[in-house]
Homo-oligomer: A and B are copies of this chain.
């Protein structure tokens, strides 16, 4: 910038004015400066600007895995809101590892992102307290924060799962399996609670062997499905706790001759063609809502941290409307 000023024969501040489109420069001077800028290929260094202004115009998004089809749309929705506010988005994947989540979050704080959207992997976020106090607005999505009070935007996991299981019950099922994510994950707990509530509301007993929480790897889920469907009293329907579980369940069920009903949490591309009934949550809406809350905070709105819960939708496509196979009831 100094070079530009020298070349244009003007003061430093005048260049700054031109670069930032500030008023108070004669068209003639502006032209001279512009020429110097072009000749030198000058481009403002935002690092210096950030240091001076104290704002980076960037927000961080820490999620579990950007390769998961659930998070792509979420991230994109956040990006769109950020863009509307002139901010860039720094993404990071925690790989469901609490330590990595913390490492990422703190790295983003060191960069002084203006705000942070976090899909928690861990359940203790007290490490964020000083950062939030220092002015980094933070919104949690998909799962609540642990140990601190902060904005959080969730899908109604409990209600969605309850409705999905009630749907299976309405189609005549009494023995329903539940396969969910790691028990430490909040949504897994909530969905299981929805399952139990639906069963209880219908006056049905729950055999604990029908319930399995853990990794969503096909290597774990596959054998679980197998086990639930064999033995003297197999389940006649399955509730899959998330998209990855659903995919594995569909693969397993496709190989069997006896039809087994299935409802999955999360929608999946092409699920309509495969006739998979799901509880759909709107990942983009989740991201958009969280981002809007974040920027409201950045704009200085300082009300109490709120908990927003987005409704889910039951999409009936066939797999959830299969009645129990004759003789298994």
Contact = CB atoms under 8 A, between A and B. Distances in A.
Interface in A229-264: 247, 250-251, 254
A69 B269 contact: yes
Contacts of A71: 72
B67 A284 contact: yes
Interface residues of A, number: 52
A66 interface: yes
A78 to B, nearest CB: 9
A296 interface: no
Nearest to A111: B46
Given A79-B93, A90-B90, A250-B273, A112 B45 contact: yes
A33 B9 CA distance: 47
A312 to B, nearest CB: 19
A18 B156 CA distance: 46
Q: Kindly report how many copies of this chain are found in the complex they form together.
A: 2
A30 interface: no
Contacts of A134: 41, 43
Contacts of A67: 72-73, 75-77, 284
Contacts of A90: 58, 88-91
| Of A66, A254, A271, most B-chain CB atoms within 10 Å | A66
A172 interface: no
A219 interface: no
B92 A88 contact: yes
Interface stretch (A21-29, A102-110, A208-216): A102-110
Contacts of A56: 47
A110 B76 contact: no
A301 interface: no
A194 B307 CA distance: 53
A251 B270 CA distance: 9
A44 interface: yes
Interface in A76-97: 76-77, 79, 88-93
A227 B106 CA distance: 55
Interface of A: 41, 43-48, 50-51, 56, 58, 65-69, 71-73, 75-77, 79, 88-93, 106-112, 130-131, 133-134, 247, 250-251, 254, 268-274, 284
21 contacts: A41-B134, A43-B109, A43-B130, A45-B110, A48-B51, A58-B111, A65-B76, A66-B72, A66-B79, A67-B73, A67-B75, A67-B76, A67-B77, A67-B284, A76-B93, A88-B92, A90-B91, A247-B269, A250-B270, A268-B269, A270-B274
